[in-house]
Amino acid sequence: MPTARLILEDGTTYDGESFGSTENAIGEVVFNTSLTGYQEIATDPSYRFQIVTMTYPHIGNYGIEREVAQSEEPQVAGFVVRDAIETPSNVHSQMSLADYFRQHRIAAIQGIDTRALTRKLRNEGAMRGMITTDAARGVDDVVAEVRRAPSMSGLDLVQRVTALRAYPFDEHPSEIRKRIAVYDFGCKRDILRHLTQEGCEVTVYPATTHADEILAKRPDGVLLSNGPGDPEPVTYAQENIRGMIGKIPIFGICLGHQLLGLALGGRTYKLKFGHRGGNHPVKDLRNGRVEITAQNHGFAVDPDSLPNTVEHTHINLNDQTLEGFRHRTEPILAVQYHPEAAPGPHDSFYLFGEFMQMIDEFSGSSRR
C-alpha cells in the first residue's frame, strides 16, 4: 500500500498507509468512539465534509453489506483507522472496506496512532486536515491549502445531501396507520425504516420544500431529519418549520432538533470536539431514566436561549448539554441524539412510539 499522511491545519503530521483512494481529501477531522458500525458511519450524510477517526483499533472485520448502508454511497470526506482488516470474516460481506473506499474514491489512512490523534482533538478541538499520498508535497504547502478550506461554522451542507425531489420510501408496512412527511436534511435510512415499522407510510421531501406544500398533503406528522453542517445558515428550513408549528405534530432528530430550537427562537453553538459514538449517557429528566445513546453532532442548542414554553427533557451526562426538549403546548418533540441507533444501542427506540402517541393525541383534539 502507498504511504499516506494526515496533516492537520496546525501542521501536526501523522504518517501511515493508504487503504482507500489515493486522491487528496480535505475535511474537518473528528473522532467516533463506536466499536462497530463503521459502514453506517461512513454512509451517514451527517458526516459530509468530515474526516472520521475511529477510536476502536481494528476496523473492517466484517466487510461491507449493502443492507446496512444509510445512504447510496459513502458520505465521509476521509477515514482514519489504526488497523484496516483486508480479509473480512462474514459470510454476507460483499467486499472489503478498502475495496469499498477505492470504488467510491474515498481517501483512507491506516497505521497511525489514533489514540494520540483523538487526545489532540479532545484537547484542542476538531480541526481541518488533509489525507494525502503526495510524498513530495511540503507540509507548509498542505497546511496553506487546508486553511483555505471552509470552516464548519457557517457552512450549509444540507443542500449537498438532500433529495432532489420528493419520493416515497418503499419499505411500506402491510397495514398503514399513519402518513409521515420527512424533511430530508441528510436523512439516514434506518430512521425511515423505524417509521415504517411503526405502521407509517413515509414520503421524503427535499430540504427546501415549502411548508404549505407539506401541509397541503395533509400528513399526520412531520419528521425533521439529521444532517450535516451548521444549522444556523439553514434559514430556509427554519422558516418552513415556523410555518408548521401548531398545525401538525413535529419530531426533530439531531440537525432537526437544532433547527427546531432555532425556529422557536433559540440559539445554537459549536461544540469543541462534538459527540460522536454509540456510548453517550443521556438522562431523561421526566423520569430519571438513563439511556445509552448513539450520537453524531458538532453543534448543540443553548438551553438558556429557549423560551419558557419549551420543556428540557434530556441532558447529556458527560457534559450536561441539552439532548432533548418538548413544547409545553404544541405537538413538538425533539432529541439531539439518534434513536434509530444505526449503529448503537436500542435504548431510544421508544421515541418513535412517543411521536406516534403525540400524533394520536393531536388527531383526537379539536385542533386537527
Q: What is the band of 100 on the pLDDT scale with cuts at 50, 70, 90?
A: very high
Q: How confident is the model at residue 42 (pLDDT cuts 50, 70, 90)?
A: very high
Q: Are 340 and 251 in contact (CB under 8 A)?
A: no
What confidence tier does 364 reach under pLDDT thresholds 50, 70, 90? confident
174-212 confidence digits (pLDDT tens) = 788 899 999 999 999 999 999 999 999 999 999 999 999
Residue 267 scores a pLDDT above 70? yes
pTM, entire model: 0.96
pLDDT of 120 above 70: yes
- Rounded mean pLDDT of 120-133? 98
Task: Write down the mean pLDDT value for the chain.
Answer: 96
Which candidate, 103, 105, 60, 101, places its Cα nearest to that of 83?
A: 60
Instruction: Tell me: pLDDT of 170 over 90.
Output: no
Domain boundaries, the chain: 3-148, 158-363
Q: Which CATH architecture does the domain made up of 3-148 adopt?
A: 3-Layer(bba) Sandwich (3.50)
Active-site pick, 187, 200, 254, 323: 254
In tens, the pLDDT along 128-143 reads: 999 999 999 999 999 9
- Percentage of residues in the chain having pLDDT higher than 70: 99
Q: Which member of 40, 198, 232, 340 is catalytic?
A: 340
Asked if residue 88 lies in contact with residue 96, where contact means CB atoms within 8 angstroms, the answer is yes
Contact indicator for 181, 159 with CB cutoff of 8 Å: no
Closest CA to 180 of 354, 44, 359: 359
> Is 338 labeled as catalytic in the residue annotation?
yes
Give the cell for residue 135. Answer: 510524498
**Positions of E strands within 156-220:** 167-168, 178-184, 200-206
Pairing between strand 290-301 and 268-284?
antiparallel
CA 312 – CA 323 distance, rounded (Å): 8
Q: Which of 257, 280, 297, 338 is catalytic?
A: 338
The contacts of residue 95 (CB under 8 Å, 6+ apart) are: 63, 64, 103
pLDDT band at 368 (very low <50, low <70, confident <90, very high): low
CA 24 – CA 4 distance, rounded (Å): 10
- Backbone φ and ψ for 273, nearest 5 degrees, come out as -135, 5
Residue range 321-325: average pLDDT? 98
- Told to judge if 187 belongs to the known catalytic residues of this protein, a careful annotator would answer no
CA distance 259 to 300: 10
**Is 340 designated active site?**
yes
Q: How many Cβ atoms are within 10 Å of 94's Cβ, its own excluded?
A: 13
Backbone angles phi and psi of 43, in degrees to 5:
-100, 5
Superfamily of domain 158-363: Class I glutamine amidotransferase (GATase) domain (3.40.50.880)
User: What pLDDT band is residue 367 in, cutting at 50, 70 and 90?
Assistant: low
Write out pLDDT tens, residues 288-298.
999 999 999 99
**Which residues, 6+ apart, have CB-to-CB distance to 188 below 8 Å?**
40, 44, 45, 46, 70, 71, 225, 226, 338, 340, 342
